[in-house]
Structures are given as structure tokens and as C-alpha cells.
Structure 1
């Protein structure tokens, strides 16, 4: 039997992710004892607290989960790794689960890229499995689908654009780059976890969680230029040339994940309403005010 005087415990998988960087200290400040899961067991610099316990676990082996009398699990690792964990959590009497998918479930559904099609299929299958298993095991699950996630340091969106600008002092755009975006800060997603954790209205529901501001792709990049103290300089490239350039860039080390579809989406709106999240648990994300720094 657990000590009634001990703090409530929460397990966090994917704890070294950019959301985890903000979530762990928020959980500690909210009075939780955090059991952080990481394959490499590398401590998160933002959460070196005595109430954070690190466990080396390979998420592909659910049986490795720590036998902790926890109240909930917050899953920051890829969503498709969550369904196999649910039976183990149920055996540990853990009935509250929050996981993170992506609005890519919708925005990349018609992509011509095979890799993106596979990604969408994995998200769809994961959500279906969570719904099915969650019902069978009587789990109170919630899935968040964020839009473009950033922290200006470790993310693969805003930070990547910032580094390109730092290195070359310009940024290439496909045509007008008028597609709308809603960047959402990782800390706002961490706060969403805290706010929804004990809210029964969020049980067995999925929420789109977007940023607090809608702006065009070009405007988004202009903000990044401004945060770096640099004048906005763009190289406008026609679609046919951009596709060819992306295919060449894909041959470079570390650029294999870039696709022509990624570039073409500069002119496609990727907007998702987060009104349901605001209504149910008070989600109020910040405006897009990047705080990128020029290391030079």
C-alpha cells in the first residue's frame, strides 16, 4: 500500500524530448514525483530535481516499465509506441494516460511521399488502437495533436530555419509562401498536460492543439529574422526549380528527410482549431514570439 503522505507519481516517457524539457519541472512544481523514462537515461538539464527519478527503458519492451505506483503516464515518445504499453499500465493499476500524436494525421493524408504516407498510417493505427484498448481496459486516455512544435533550440522546425538564416543570412521561399501556420511552443504543450491531467471532461478524447497566432509561412520566417536581429532577405524560387533543388539537398548528409512535398506546403494552409481544448481545460497558447539567438 502506498504512503498517503507521499506525493502523487507520474511516469513520463520520451522525457528528454523538447516537451519533456518543460514538462518535468512543471510536474515537480505541481507537487508530483516524476519517473522519467529514457533509453539512454540522460538527465534533462531543465529538470535536475530530487523529485525526478530516471529509468533506462527501451520503449519497444513494455515490460521494462518501472513498477511504480503512479497515478498517470504522460507519453511524449512516438504515439505508436503507446498501445503496447496500455496492458502493462493496466496491470499496474494506472488508468490515466496522455499521449501526443500530430496534426500531420490530417495535413499529410494526401501526400505523394511514401514516407509521409507511412507516418500518417502509423498515427491512424495508433489512435485506433488507443481507442480500442483504452475502452477494453477502462483507461482514461487523452491524445493531443499539436501543430508545428518549437522551442527555438532543439526543435526540427523553427530552430532549423534559424540555423539556416544564421549561416547564410537569407532564406529560400517557394513563391509567396502564403500557407498559414500556427506554431505552438513546447512549454504550452507541457502546460496542457498539467491542465488536462485531472480533468474528466478530457477523458477518451483527442484534441488538436495549435499555437495562439495564425500567420503565413513568410511572416513566420520574418519573425525569425527579427529575433536574430537580421534584416529579412528571401530568395524567391519558382516551384519547378525548388523541387529540383530539394532533390539535390536530399543527397547531402543529414538532409535525407527533406522532401519536395515539404517545400510545396509553404503555400498550403495548415491550420487547426484548438477551441475544444480551450473550452475543456483552458488551453491558451502564446503568440509566436521566437527567441532565437545568433551564436555569432
Structure 2
């Protein structure tokens, strides 16, 4: 018992992005196993059981922490790649970083800004891995698919708001493309499992959700979660392109490629993550208040 208590006391984690969607769940689950995590935040916080540090990844020279053994980063991996050299310490053994399956699915996007961002993210992944290996620190890079957490995410929740507002959803080409939405809490659980798995050291993993659905069925489940009748309208790709310039003010943050991708399969194999750290995400059945 004393040995276990001593081991727990010596195990400290730093969570970068701990106020975000996935990071918040990581902090919550660390607290459940009696860890007292360090959490980096750009604003002052006061959660019981958490040691908060005020700072910003964009100003790495100002970052100073007591020794920690595990680093979780759910924030921008590009910023982490720049700041990581300042975060190494003799106690650090594992680094678990969230990236995105977009580094694969958006390589051929027609939107130049997206191509540039994906190039920078892929470069950041390589730099993180190289820096960790140079310091003999085990790294794991996790690439989730479509992340959701009802009412809080930037993928599924905006779609639910559009559906609630207009009562229907346009689907480009009938939206046959396959998707695997994944819940943010499942990602947090997966990150903690990966951090404690020797099999996951120095590897990349795709983290899809528990179901593979056609985009149109994914939208149908959102209607179901809103307790609204499914009203979906198939829109030819040519009409979508022509009409988007007029309608884009109704879809803030969207671009024409987002609609076109409704026809494209974006699926990934979960078997390596299941084998190496027990990845077991939930099915997609969102519920909205």
C-alpha cells in the first residue's frame, strides 16, 4: 500500500489544453484516480485538486513547471512543437499529443488555406516525435476523427444548431461519405490508456468512433438527438457550388469544400489502438437538450 501511495505521489501529469473539450475530460479522469495534475491555462482558474499555471504556448520562454512525468497536449500541436524544448525535464517519460486525421483526409483539399494548415500540422508531428526521441522520451500521437461532445464541440453541435434553426439539412450529393464521430470523453480515456501502455510508445494512432456511418445517417442521428423529424434534402454538387456564395452567410466558418466532402469516405482503422491500449469508444447516439 505504501509503495503504491508513493508511486502515485511521484506521478504528476501536465495537461496543456486542460480547459478545452478533450483536455477537460483528461483532467477530470486524472482527478478520479487521485492524481493532482498541473494544468496550463491562459487565464487564472481555481478548480479544487488541480495546480493551475498561468501561461501561453506562444510564449514558451515564460513556461516553468515543477517536475512532471507525463505530458498530455490537446492544444494546437503546431504551438507545442515550438514550445516542447522548454518542457523537457529529467522526470518526463511520456508525451501524448492530439493531432488530427485531417493530416490524411485533407491533403488534397481544394482550399489553399486548409492545405497550408495541414502541411504545418504534419511538420509539427514530425518535430514532436524527433524532439522526444532526442531526449529519450516516449511519444504517442493520437489522430481523432470527428470530435463531439453535445452542446460544446465545433463539429456536431454547430450542425445541430443549423438543424434546430431551419428544420432541415442540405446534403451534397446525398452525403454517402462514411464518418466515424468520436466522443471527447472517449478520447480522454484513450489518451490516459495510451500513456500507460508500453506498446503505444513512439507510434501514431487513428482514433475513430465506435460506429461507421454514412454522413446522411450521422445527420439523421442528430435529428433524432434533437427529437425532430428527419428532413434532409439532397443537393447536386454543382448546385452547392453555385449557391454557396449566396448561402455562406448562413454557415459561418464553412467553405465550399466542406459540403463536397460529404460525398467522401473518411474512415480509419481502430485495430492498432484497440490492440495496444484497449481503445473502445461508444456508438454515435448524441442527445441534445
Q: SS of 1:279's equivalent?
A: helix
Does 1:152 find its partner at 2:155? Answer: no
Separation in structure 1 between the aligned mates of residue 91 and residue 247 of structure 2, nearest angstrom: 49
Mean CA deviation greater in 14-23 or 223-232: 14-23
Helix, strand or coil at the partner of 1:98: strand
Q: Which runs of 5+ in 1 are unaligned?
A: none
1:219 corresponds to which of 194, 205, 217: 217
Which structure has more helix as a fraction of its residues?
A: 2
In the TM superposition, 1:266-285 aligns within 5 A as 266-285=262-281
Query: Which one of 86, 91, 94 corresponds to residue 92 of structure 2?
Result: 94
1-structure distance, mates of 2:95, 2:247:
40
Q: 2:63 aligns with which of 58, 62, 65?
A: 65
For 1:103 and 1:6, locate their aligned partners in 2 and report how far apart those are by CA, in whole Å. Answer: 35
Worse-superposed segment, 16-25 or 187-196: 16-25
Question: Does the Cα contact within 8 Å between 2:23 and 2:73 map onto a contact in 1?
Answer: no
Q: CA deviation at 1:190?
A: 0.4
Write out aligned runs for 1:107-126 (5 A): 107-126=105-124
Please give the alpha-carbon distance, in whole angstroms, between the structure 2 residues aligned to 1:141 and 1:235: 45
Offset at 1:51? 1.5
| Aligned-partner SS, 1:172 | strand
**Offset of 1:145 from its aligned partner?**
0.2
The alpha carbon displacement at 1:89 in A equals: 2.3
Find the aligned partners of 1:80 and 1:41 in 2 and give their Cα distance. Answer: 23
- The counterpart of 1:33, out of the listed 23, 36, 44, is 36
How many pairs does the alignment contain? 284
Farther off after superposition, 63-72 or 155-164: 63-72
Structure 1 position 211, deviation (Å) = 0.4
Shift of 1:253: 8.4
Partner of 2:13: 10
- Among residues 231, 255, 258, which one is paired with 1:259 in the alignment? 255
Instruction: Give the Cα separation in 1 of the matches to 2:132 and 2:192.
Output: 21
State the distance in 1 between where 2:251 and 2:270 align: 33
How far did 1:226 drift?
A: 0.7
Does residue 234 of the first structure (1) align with residue 232 of the second (2)?
Answer: yes
**Equivalent position to 1:142, from 131, 140, 143:** 140
Contact 1:179 1:265 in 2 (8 A): yes
**After superposition, what is the alpha-carbon deviation per residue over 1:248-283, rounded to whole angstroms, capped at 9, x for unaligned?**
344x3882x311111001010000011100000000
1:289 match: 285
Report deviation, 1:66.
Answer: 3.4
Report if the CA contact (8 A) 2:175-2:215 is conserved. Answer: yes
Structure 1 Cα separation of the partners of residues 41 and 80 of structure 2: 14
SS at match of 1:84: helix
**Separation of aligned partners in 2, 1:184 and 1:271:** 12
Structure 2, unmatched stretches of 5+, are: none
- Tell me, what secondary structure is at the counterpart of 2:267? coil
CA contact (8 A) 2:174 2:235 kept: no
Partners in 2 of 1:7 and 1:139 — Cα distance?
Answer: 17
- Do the aligned residues in 2 keep the contact of 1:178 with 1:267 (CA within 8 Å)? yes
TM-score if structure 2 supplies the norm length?
Answer: 0.93
- Deviating beyond 4 angstroms after TM superposition, the runs of 4 or more aligned structure 1 residues are none
**Residue 21 (1) aligns with residue 24 (2):** yes
What is the match of residue 244 of structure 2?
246
